[in-house]
Chain A
Amino acid sequence: MLSEKQEWLSQAADNKPVTPEQLSALLTQAELQQTVQRYQLTGAIMRNEADSVLPVDFSDKFASLLEQEPTYQLQTQRSLLQKMKMGVRQAANAEWFKPAAHGAIAASVALVAVLGVQQYQQPLEADLSMPSPVLQTRPVAGFATPVSLSQTSVDSRFEAQEQQAMQEQQRRLQALLQAHRQQVRITEAQPTAAPTAEQEPREYK
């Protein structure tokens, strides 16, 4: 009899179906409940779930803690947001509020605009201030071809006041490079032959 009782209790502990009679017995008899609890604890330990299992007396302890908790008297208070809303609602009816609101909106728009411009300008300024070793191509003569000029030897004088001059020189070099290319285009590759009239550059309009 004992073994039969333990068998269905064990099955119940493993979430197997139980008959209504067994269920009502389990709900009414504290002894059976403790047995099921032990079985579940054993199973949990075997499945290495011991940490997740609450102590047997968890509910009792929690109930006693709740009893010891002091009672707080909560008062109805408006939140800060509600207070601000109320303040604005009152102010919106006042004559002084409308021009002040317009001014505030205008100021915030201006602030965003200034911040935005600063943010957009920063990378541009950074580009300009950096001494770029790469010449950018400008169509000076003929047609533009991209150049990838890498600096091979430069005097180490990169003072701030010289950077402007460096950029100016790069522009001049681009113009000279394009002029060189144009000369090569229009010149016959006969170093000893004098150019004829037809070798001169001609522009067709």
Chain B
Amino acid sequence: MMKWLFGMCCLVVLNVVMPVYADGTGWVLFDKVQGSVRQHNFDVSYVVLKGGQAETYRWLHGRDGEADIEHLIPMFAEGVDIVRRNDRVYYLLAERPSLITRSERIKELPALLFEDPTKIRKLYDAVAGSSSMIDGRSAQLLRLSAIDETRYHYWLWVDVETGFPLRIDTLAEQDQSRQNRALETWQVTHLRITPEMPGSLAQLLTIELPDTSSAETTASASPQQHELNWLPAGFEIIPEPLHVPQLTPEVLSYWLLSDGLHQVSVFVQRSHQLPTQAYRDGAVTIFVQSDAQRDITVIGPINVDVAQRLAAAVR
């Protein structure tokens, strides 16, 4: 009888402790992933699969003492180079003016690899999963399950040896019993981690890049003509002054929302009496709702229901 009771107690304790333990292991692994992309010198090629379309990038990173440099080359867009030197990001475009922003990361790279883990912990549970082989390397699965079910989930496959992310799937839903279909897959096709900074980065570190001091601001703030009276859980409006994109037809109101990891745009324009539509570009939903007075377009990595509710919240 005592043995039986002891066994039951052990089972109960294990059931309580295991998820906590798994969660802790998951976040440790996640920290290892973030540390890997920040600390290592590497030359990586990766592909982003969106439905039937693939975008290929080359991504180089180097660190030498205080100097931190990153170079992203979209292979599908000729004449585009994105360089980050410390907290400055340069979009160097052939025969067009360069765009210079201030950021600790290149926005074209997966945000969850760089964002503050404390923010991500508020939105996700991290659970370490089973091991498998990705591109001939031993990889461990790390599931970031959204606490709010309307948010997308992320499954990461992490290189066991280096902690480098080998694959990231964005999922609308995750069900253990079914084959989950990724909305978007980010996958490394070539990985080379070196003790020294790649040679081309050492050169980029020293060359003179466009200076922001001589730049001029081109956009201007416009008053909002509408109100947005609902936000999805965890999202906040990026406060004014905000630059309303100069588009045709004119944008009457514009909001940019962020939960620290994802950004969503809400545009209000004059009505063109078009049917309500939803499109998808990988994990990004584009939802258009039209009535007699205005067209509301919601763009961001959110599901269609949330986009629809956001559009309905414009007054």
> Which residues of A approach B to under 8 Å, CB–CB?
133, 135, 141-155, 157, 165-166, 168-169, 172-173, 175-177, 179-180, 182-192, 194-196, 198-205
Contacts and interface: CB of A to CB of B under 8 A. Distances in A.
A146 B111 CA distance: 20
A59 B217 CA distance: 106
Given A145-B76, A146-B55, 5 more contacts: A147-B281, A185-B101, A192-B239, A200-B219, A203-B97
B276 to A, nearest CB: 6
A202 B286 CA distance: 27
A13 B298 CA distance: 95
5 contacts: A157-B275, A173-B288, A184-B263, A202-B101, A203-B215
Contacts of B163: none
Contacts of A186: 99, 101, 243
Contacts of A176: 245, 247, 265, 267, 286, 297, 299
Contact of A153 (B249, B272, B277): B277
Interface of B: 50-53, 55, 74, 76-77, 80, 89, 91, 93, 97-103, 107, 111, 115, 210-212, 214-219, 235-239, 241-243, 245, 247-249, 256-261, 263, 265, 267, 269, 272, 274-282, 284, 286, 288, 297, 299-300, 304
Given A153-B304, A189-B258, A145 B279 contact: no
A175 B267 CA distance: 11
B275 A155 contact: yes
A154 B282 CA distance: 18
B263 A187 contact: yes
Contact of A149 (B257, B258, B274, B279): B279
A189 B80 contact: no
Q: Which of B239, B247, B272, B277 has the most CB of A within 10 A?
A: B277
A21 B217 CA distance: 118
Contacts of A204: 97-100, 210-212, 214-215
A119 B276 CA distance: 37
Contacts of B248: 175
A67 B304 CA distance: 93
Given A176-B297, A191-B236, A204-B98, A183 B263 contact: yes
A58 B197 CA distance: 95
A155 B276 contact: yes
A168 B272 CA distance: 10
Q: Which of B219, B242, B300 has the most CB of A within 10 A?
A: B219
A109 to B, nearest CB: 40
Nearest to A158: B275
A190 B236 CA distance: 10
Nearest to A193: B239
A184 to B, nearest CB: 5
Nearest to B212: A202
Given A142-B91, A189-B260, A202-B99, A173 B243 contact: no
A157 B261 CA distance: 37
Contacts of B275: 154-155, 157
Contacts of B279: 133, 135, 149-152, 173
Contact of B101 (A153, A179, A192, A201): A201
A180 B99 contact: no
Contact of B98 (A148, A168, A169, A203): A203
A168 B111 CA distance: 32
A134 to B, nearest CB: 9
